[in-house]
Amino acid sequence: MQHSHEALDRTGGIGRGNLLSPLRHRDFRILWTGMTISLVGDGIFLIAIAWESYSLWNAPAALSIVGIGMTIPTIAFLLVGGVVSDRRDRRVVMAWADGLRAVAVAVLAALVLMSALRFWELVVLVAFYGIGTAFFTPSFDAILPELLPKSDLPAANALDQFVRPIAMRLVGPVAGGALVAASAGIAFAIDAASFTACLVAVLAMPRRAGRRVEIESSNVAALKEGLRFVRQRVWLWGTLLSAAIAYLVFLGPVEVLLPYLVKNELHASAGTLGLVLAAGGLGAVGGAAFMGHRGHPRRDVTVMYMTWTIATLVIAGYGIANATWELMLVCLVFNGLEAAGTIVWATIKQHHVPGSMLGRVSSLDWLISIGLLPLSFALTAPVAAVFGARATLVGAAALGGAVTLGAFFLPGMRAIERTGGRRQGPWHVPVDVTD
């Protein structure tokens, strides 16, 4: 992918050496400290939930059902979470969401430690976890422009994609593999404690006096406004729709079959799965560091789609790999490209979506992107039973890559590249559908 050095002089460009610039701001620093701790816990959770699911039921259907149990509640509450985040104190919404997830994982830890966990109880508990995620995610995405000046937002996105994989895909999985070897219950307990740490950090931030929450319109009207905003912009609805279809095709197979291959074909341990995911963390760190160094690209939509297309095709490597190091290499490349594209996408949204609507757009982003994920989980087991786990992964990569690349050629998709990364407005004036 090509990056223009001229992009560094644009509003929202990332200058060299500015990756840590958002940490100058106290509230962002407090929030990010708590988030980093929580992300380590999330990485531990990834290993613990996969291994515990297969311990209770050693079949691809086990993790498929757990994935469905977690994603359906997230999908069901995402739009509500987006509206609430735009109409209430986002700090309070995040606190309640983290509290709910902390309680759910703590109960899960207790049941595992008492050797009393049943599979249906695991599914119920991850459902509460998913509800908390539905409220936390849009609030976190939307609160960042409140905590930082616009010039620091691209650096914050790069920092996010730099620290997130270190915590969630490197430190967390390695620690999770070691902890699960001792006890999955201990791993879940540490994850619950990490949510508590994030909760404390959120509450330590003062309420933002500068933000006035508008509640004149109804929740339904606010939701319709957000839907209308997305529908009028090809770069938004086209990207979200293509992501929904691509995730349907490849995300379920990756989430379900990668741990299955490690456990049942490589006959390896939870520690090995942790190392594979940790390699992905290193790749994402590299992608974020590169983006932070080179800056936001001038042809941002083009760069985003090219990196995401190649990343999706790389997934075929999971189905071809026969050794741990090969799985690690695939995971590294996939996550590096995915992180680079995600940084560009986050910055595009923050530049072209008004702050008063960012929570709703973020919730719609998540909802549409993962709306078909439960179906992806549900289809993975029967498809793998017919074609085999490896062939399923290769086919998912090819189909997902084709869908992603196809969306790039939608008429009007690249129109915002002509604006040079600047917001188009004024926002109260309807914008042409090719915006």
Q: What is the pLDDT of residue 14?
A: 37
Nearest to 336 by CA among 374, 381, 401, 284: 284
Residue 343 confidence (pLDDT): 83
* pLDDT > 90: percent of the chain: 37
> Which backbone phi and psi does 233 adopt, to 5 degrees?
-130, 115
Rg for the chain (alpha carbons), in Å? 21
Query: Is 168 domain-assigned?
Result: yes
Beta bridge partners of 434: 233
What residues contact residue 98 under an 8 Å CB cut-off, 6+ apart? 38, 132, 136, 195, 196, 198, 199, 202
Residue 1 falls inside a structural domain: no
Per-residue confidence (pLDDT) for residue 13, from 0 to 100: 34
pLDDT at residue 410, as a whole number = 94
The amino acid present at 256, given as its one-letter code, is: V
Is 13 inside any structural domain? no
User: Could you give the count of Cα atoms lying within 13 Å of 170 in the half-sphere of its Cβ?
Assistant: 19
- What lies within 8 Å, CB to CB, of 212 at 6+ separation is none
Structural domain count of the chain: 1
Please measure the distance between the N-terminal and C-terminal CA atoms of the chain and give it in whole angstroms. 24
CATH code for position 65: 1.20.1250.20
From residue 313, alpha-carbon distances to 109, 261, 375 in Å are 37, 19, 21
| 435 domain-assigned | no
Residue 428 lies in a domain: no
Is the CA virtual torsion 160, 166, 167, 173 positive or negative?
Answer: positive
In sequence order, what are the residues at sequence separation of 6 or more whose Cβ sits closer than 8 angstroms to the Cβ of residue 2?
Answer: 297, 299, 303
Number of Cβ within 10 Å of residue 418's Cβ equals: 6
**Per the domain annotation, does 25 fall within a domain?**
yes
List of residues 6+ apart from 47 with CB closer than 8 A: 172, 173, 176, 177, 179, 180, 187, 270, 273, 274, 277
Answer whether residue 426 is part of any domain: no
Residues of the chain with pLDDT under 70: 1-19, 161, 208-220, 222-223, 418-435
> Residue 131: which domain range?
18-209+219-419
Residues 287, 303: contact at Cβ < 8 Å?
no
Residue type, 386: V
Residue 11, domain member (yes or no): no
The residue written with tokens 């042409």 in the block is: 432
